[in-house]
Structure 1
Amino acid sequence: MKNPEKNSVDFSKPFIDYIPAELRENKDWLIVYSILDPVSKKLVRKRKRVPPLSNKVERRKMARKMVSSINSRLDRGWNEIIEEEAPKSLCLIIDATKSYINSLDRDYQNGAIRKDTYRTYTSFITNFENWIKKTGREKEFILHFNASLISEFLDHIYIERKNKARTYNNYLHALRLFNKWLIQKSYKNIDVTAIFQTKRNSEKERELIEANEVKNVFEYLDKNYCELSLVCKLIYYCFIRPTELSRLKVKDVLIKDRLIHLSKQNSKKTGGYVTVQTELMQQLAFHIRNANLEDYLFSNNECKTGKNQASGKFYYDRWMKHIVKNGITNNPLYSLKDSGITFALDHGVSPVSVMNQARHYDLSVTTAYLRKPQQKADQNLLSANW
């Protein structure tokens, strides 16, 4: 018997994103149609089974209604695959990245995230967006933001650009946060980054400044640039990062207590109080003698106290100009902090005291700064008896 549904649709009409439904009466009565998969851009066949009825005439009437309903919806643009996705899944990836960066900017302006956090995540997502454009994916939908795409991008970061595992992990973390935002904003339903694992970091190589070079640094700066000398001493003795120093104000220096207060907002990781050696505190007290409490401790006015905040890069630039270019040491500014921690441990300062001063979250972070033992007998153990 001829299938009555075969000629119910004009198949001479060109269909671009679907093939209309039709009834196929075989062992199983199936309604068959095809829809466009937005990801593969190929037509995908779909089948729906017609519920069994003892009366074939009634079953065929039911099938006709199902075919008519499906074709009506297809004609209005319905797509079963897209319906299963999030409401905004057909937005362009580059439009979503721009919206995400705008969201980060709003969070920064409202004080919800720090400037460093804003700058870091904006940089990562901007680099991802540039890669999307460079690889000809400007018209790709969020539907295409999947594990395959992320894998290709991370390979670009790790293999093609030959970055370290730490950089790979930082990009992966940024993409995870981006995916979380996509879910919150109805661009995605699932976390497509979940299958990716962070890479194990190789042991961090610390560049230490030799003790005689540290001495030469302070001697030169004490004579020629006492404000920068204070910056360097706080990095070396108090283990305060340059970016953290740029945020400190005069009110954070507690002269009587010989402490500097690092609030959570001003600290990269953990806030708290750091101890300032007596002589160094005397130098700090002289430095702030005429300053207002709300002045920055080391402003962009050549590290003097002032109303305009400097940046961490500001100190790096002056280190390069006055220390590196004068041949005192070739090591970067951040090496002062690593050297200070290592030399403190070398001189017998309790690891717990160093941990608290450096605001490490765990003692294992502090002990990682210990020098590796040389292949010789420990004199302290040779004469010990317990």
Structure 2
Amino acid sequence: MSVGMAAPRAKYACDPDRSRGRLFAEPPSKTRSPFRRDCDRVIHSTAFRRLKHKTQVFIFHEGDHYRTRLTHSLEVAQIARALARQLGLDEDLTETLALAHDLGHPPFGHAGERALDACLKDCGGFDHNAQTLRVVTSLEHRYPEFGGLNLTWESLEGIVKHNGPLTEHSGAPIARYLEGGVPVGIADYNAIHDLELWSYASLEAQVAAFADDIAYDAHDIDDGLRAGLFVVDDLKEMPLTSEIIGDIDRHYPGLDEVRRGAELVRELISHFISAVFSEASNRLAAAKPQSAHDVRRHHAPLIAFPADVAGEEAAIKAFLYRRMYRHPRVMEIMGDAEQVVRNLFERYRQSPGDLPAEWIEGTERETEGARSRRIGNFIAGMTDRFALIEHQRLFDSTPDLR
């Protein structure tokens, strides 16, 4: 089958007609599948709109053309749906997971996450996947009969497990959770609504995770070029990008730098999508799953890069880490951004009355840990812009993050 063609629904895809349902039972929609309904709920959520002013790498007033969490999520959804279509998966569920995956990120990108994790270290720390789960299960206030969005079981498990199982079947944490344990927000929710943390997620969730990596790599290259942190020819130090640049220069001699960079990004995305499709096809042919149930209980992920492409992708991440994420200009801004988050957290902790009225109610009856988590939830929901405005309101001096 051609990579560009849509495959018929595969037997190992999630079937919306066989969804495990929602924590709070609702009448089915007359016009939408359960997964389409989930996707629409994510799109209409307040948390999704806030992504417009949440940072990827650069803070919001660096320029109008850099990625935000919102534009990144849309790009992830496009890549994820392309892969889901080729593999015969449910596109609505795939899109839901692609659009929802960053809902829990705080302001100022990973700098904000590091700061909140330190502030909340005595009550479980901060994990953006756990925060996304909080958003869609309790923090969104849009429906009269329940908190959150009341998404299907399949959407919730995909949010939590898109990077793989969190525990052994016994419940013992594994992988990145081995040292610190399963994040509090996930463990608490799982106690009332079992997401089977020991199993793999659906193929739709696995596809969304790889689409996230592809989008990050390609589009951070684009943003780094726009910001002047490196030039196209600097990327020749990696064999893959060197080969792509060489092909571009042969086909389009004399092409200007902007179009040269854009063509590189386009070819890189195509290369990675084709590689994931090829490897997934091989793994699925070998494993022969007959249902989404078989996918979850397989001993390994079924969506992956081939080994050589995994090496190529790791080289790009290493380049971006060195030349972009750890660039002195970016590091200085992110250091100041971390301080903004720490200042806000401590101010609200010392003076809860500085919180908005709807966030103050009930604080006097809470334990210190519960109050800290409430403050963390409030800060995590902030946009970059609002965090700076709040800091200016509460402090005499606010860093100029540019």
Q: Using structure 1 for the length normalisation, give the TM-score.
A: 0.26
Instruction: Give the strand-richer structure, 1 or 2.
Output: 1
Higher relative contact order, chain-length normalized (CA < 8 Å, sep 6+):
2
- Please say which structure displays the higher CA radius of gyration: 1
Query: How does the TM-score come out when normalised to structure 2?
Result: 0.25
Would you tell me which structure has more helix in proportion to its own residues? 2
